[in-house]
Every structure is written in C-alpha cells, then in structure tokens.
Amino acid sequence: MIGLATLPHDTATLSRREKSRTAIRGAFFSEFIDMFDIYLPTVVLSPVLFFFRPAAITPGTAAILTSLVFITTLLGRPIGAFIFGVVADNVGRRMASIYSVSGFGFITFLIAILPGFDSIGIASYWLLVLLRFLDGICLGGGYTGAMPLAIEYAEKPRRGFVGGLILAAFPLAYVVINLIAMLMFALFPLHGAQSPYVHWGWRIPFVIGAVLAGLLALYYAYKVPESEVWASETAEGKQKLPLRDLITGRSAWGLLQVLVMMTGFWLTQNIITIFIPTTLLLHILHLPKYELTSTLLISYLVLFFSYIASGMIGQAIGRRRFFLIVGPLIAIFGGGIMYALVSIRLGLPLVVLLVCLMSVLVTSPWGVIVTYINERFVTDVRATGFGLGFSLSVVIPSFYAFYMNWLGIIMPFTLTPVVLLVIGGLLGALGAFIGPETRNVDF
C-alpha cells in the first residue's frame, strides 16, 4: 500500500483549476460509491437474507438478524471516520481516500462471493455481518479524506456549490441502485429459495459496486493531487496541532457544537430516508410496489438538484443563517406536511407532491453541511473533525424507531414522526445557533 504514494500520475503539471476539478470530481464519485454500497443491502440483499440463515427461526429472531446486517455497518462508520481521519490529517487526504476506497471495494467483492447457509451453515450469516462491519469502517473513511480534499481546493465563493454538488451524489446513488435492482429482478425473477436471483442474481450489483470502487481508487492514485492547503500546513518544521485538540483544545467546542447540530439533522434525515419508504408509504399509506418505487425515485431525482440549490443559497446568505432559518421551517412545515400525510386520505399525485416538498425542505441542510463542517475545523485536524462530526452524530438518531415506539405509548404512532421532525429541526437550529458563521473562513 505504501507504493501507492509514489504511483506515476500527471498531477504535477495540472493548473490549480484542473486540480480543483479532479478533487471535486473524486469527492462526488466517492460519495456516490459510498452511498451505492450502503444501499446495496437495503435494496438488493433484503429480499434474500434468508439465503444466509436457517429457515426454522421465529419472526423475532429473523428481525434481529436482519437488523444486525445494517446496524454493524452503522457502528463501523464512526470508527472508520476516526481511523481514516487521522490518516488524512497526518499522511494526506489523497492517501486516506485511496486506502478507504480500496478497502470497501475489496470487502464488497468478498460479500459478492459469500456462500450461503446451505454451504457453510450459520457461519455464512456471521461472515456477512463481519464484512458489513469492516465495510462500514472503510465507508466511514470514504468521505473523510475525499471531502476535505475537495473543499480545500474549492475557491471560497464556490465552496457552497461544491459542497452541495458532492452531497447530490447521495440521491443519485439511490436512484441508480434502484434502477439496477429493478433490472436484476426483471432478468432474474425472485420466486422461491431456488430461484436464480437468490443464488447469484443479487451478487451482480455487489460486483458492480466493487468494480466502481476499484476504478475510483485508481482515479485517486493517478489523477487526484494532494491538497495544497494540507501540504503547506504540514510542511517540515511547522508546528502541528495534536489530535487531542479535538478533545481538550480549541477544536473541542467546534466538535461538540457540530455533534449537537448534526444529531438534529440526522434525526430529521432518517425520517425521510428510512421512515418514509419503509413505514409511511408501505404500511401507513399502503402504496402498491410500483407507486411506492415511483414516488421514491421522483423525490430523489428532485433532491439531486435541491442539494445543489441549498449549497448555493447557503453561500449567498451564510451557512449558519441558512441552518437557523431552515431548522424551524423543518419543525413547522415539515411536521405539518407529515401530519397531513399520516392523517388525511390523499390521492397519489398529492402524495408524491407532498413527499417531494417535505424531502426537499427536511434534507436541505445537507447541501450545506459538508462545506460548513470542513470550514469549522483548522487544517491540522479538519479531516478527523469532519469525519467524527459527520458520522459519530448518526448514532443517537439511528435508534429513531425506538423513540417512536416510546412516544407511541402516549400518542398515536402515526403522529410520532411529526414529533421527531420538530425535535430534530429545533435541535439542528440550536446547534447552528451556538456556533459561528464560517462562510468567510480562510484555509
């Protein structure tokens, strides 16, 4: 792996504008492939998880085993953010990207060739869980190097656009993985435990994900230059802030403030990305499969453009001000739209419209978040601070379903997501309120 640092590439002759473009392009595709690999189990593997476990288990046990496949990835992300954040701050943004992308590409390929329960018994399931945990570690590092590298190359007036563009890869990845899954289901119908999709049809998207990751690693190795900001700040002889500055130094308050803000916005994000497709549209509104899929694809296509727009608005009015305005709007109008969806019987066109409007509003902070968090930390600890602030904050919101069940004791369950939207929006605004404006920060 050390040899990757000296692989021949033509970055020495690139102009700064060309370097910026390659770095931004790399971050965009890093986010795309990161999200592609995250959604693979949700979209492609969920229907065939029985392939890895015994058939004679209770529904409760099956639910626990299913949840572990996704929770372990989540637990791995903060660990990866810390590990690769340290690499990015001490070895280089580019090398952290190469290591992490190579890692989750290789692990994704290993998942693609996993044998099933019929071949190696319950070891098949535990190997899947272990690989998803390791995948989570590498995925947690996928953006820790790539995003600071891109933001550091972006010109100050364009940072907002760049941050929004990078995050726009997330909804695009969702659309692409769903289209691939629909193609796989069409080519290899799922009809029983012995159908082609169960034994090898699901493997094809995982191989695609592994190949994409390999191509991205080569792109970083041969095309993307190291961050000039990082290189100048870590030049020989310069005093460098230690990592503990994030815990006990001047960066500690910044990390705490970002964690508060991001906890709120992760809570609202989970309502859009998890609750809406798995509970609202499926079990509350009872949309048929085609209408459900169409609604989600339309909303995610809209999000691709709204993330870029949010980044540009945050650049124009200030990122802190954007959060302070949008947080209460999420609580009031986002909560109001959710109330209408769960309480009023609506036709499909109106459901699609309201889902799109709520998705754009509730997830709009994410077009600004990448830029804001990177600007919040000094260069010496920027990658680690960004990685931890971005991924550690997801842990508490990830248990949103438990909070909804607890709230369901004192109110109708269908109204509990309204409460979480209100809490998340206000908490995100509070986190922004206790922090500074970063739009004019110099790197």
pLDDT tens for each residue of 139-161: 888 889 999 999 999 999 999 99
What is the rounded end-to-end Cα distance, in angstroms, of the chain?
29
The tens digit of pLDDT for each residue in 84-142 reads 999 999 999 999 999 999 999 999 999 999 999 889 999 999 999 999 999 999 988 88
Rounded to an integer, the average pLDDT of 179-197 is 86
CATH of domain 11-229: 1.20.1250.20
Delimit the domains of the chain by residue range. Answer: 11-229, 244-436
Residues in the chain: 443
Helix, strand, or coil (residue 438): coil
pLDDT reading at 347 higher than 50: yes
If one compares 68 and 174, the residue with the highest pLDDT of the two is 174
DSSP string over 316-338: HH-HHHHHHHHHHHIIIIIHHHH
Per-residue confidence (pLDDT) for residue 148, from 0 to 100: 96
Please, what sign has the CA dihedral across residues 99, 393, 397, 425? negative
179: CB partners within 8 A, 6+ apart:
none
Q: Is the pLDDT of residue 353 over 50?
A: yes
- pLDDT-derived band of residue 11, with 50, 70 and 90 as boundaries? low
Please say whether the beta carbons of 122 and 139 come within 8 A.
no
Cβ-proximal residues to 339 (8 Å cutoff; 6+ apart), any chain? 415, 418
Q: Do domains 11-229 and 244-436 have the same CATH topology?
A: yes
Q: How many helices (H) and strands (E) does the chain have?
A: 19, 0
Residue 61 clears pLDDT 80, i.e. is over it: no
Q: Return the percentage of the chain with pLDDT > 70, whole number.
A: 95
Q: Which residue is it, tokens 């159908």?
A: 195
**Which has more confidence, 402 or 260?**
260
Residue with tokens 């309480």: 343
Residue 70: predicted pLDDT: 77
| Domain spanning 244-436: CATH superfamily | MFS general substrate transporter like domains (1.20.1250.20)
DSSP assigned state of 344: S
pLDDT at 194: 81
139 within 8 A of 132, measured Cβ to Cβ: no
pLDDT level of residue 330 (50, 70, 90 thresholds): very high
> pLDDT of 288-322, one tens digit each?
988 998 999 999 999 999 999 999 999 999 999 99
pLDDT level of residue 8 (50, 70, 90 thresholds): very low
Cα gap 255→391, rounded to integer Å: 12
Question: Quick one: pLDDT band at residue 241, thresholds 50, 70, 90?
Answer: confident
Cα 430 from chain centroid (whole Å): 22
Query: What does the pLDDT look like over 110-123, one tens digit per residue?
Result: 999 999 988 999 99
Give 379's Cβ-side CA count (13 Å radius).
22
Angle between helices 366-376 and 382-391 (to 10 degrees): 140
- Short-list 39, 84, 69, CA closest to 386: 84
Closest CA to 366 of 399, 316, 299, 319: 319
Average pLDDT, the chain: 90
- Place 6 in a pLDDT band, splitting at 50, 70 and 90: very low
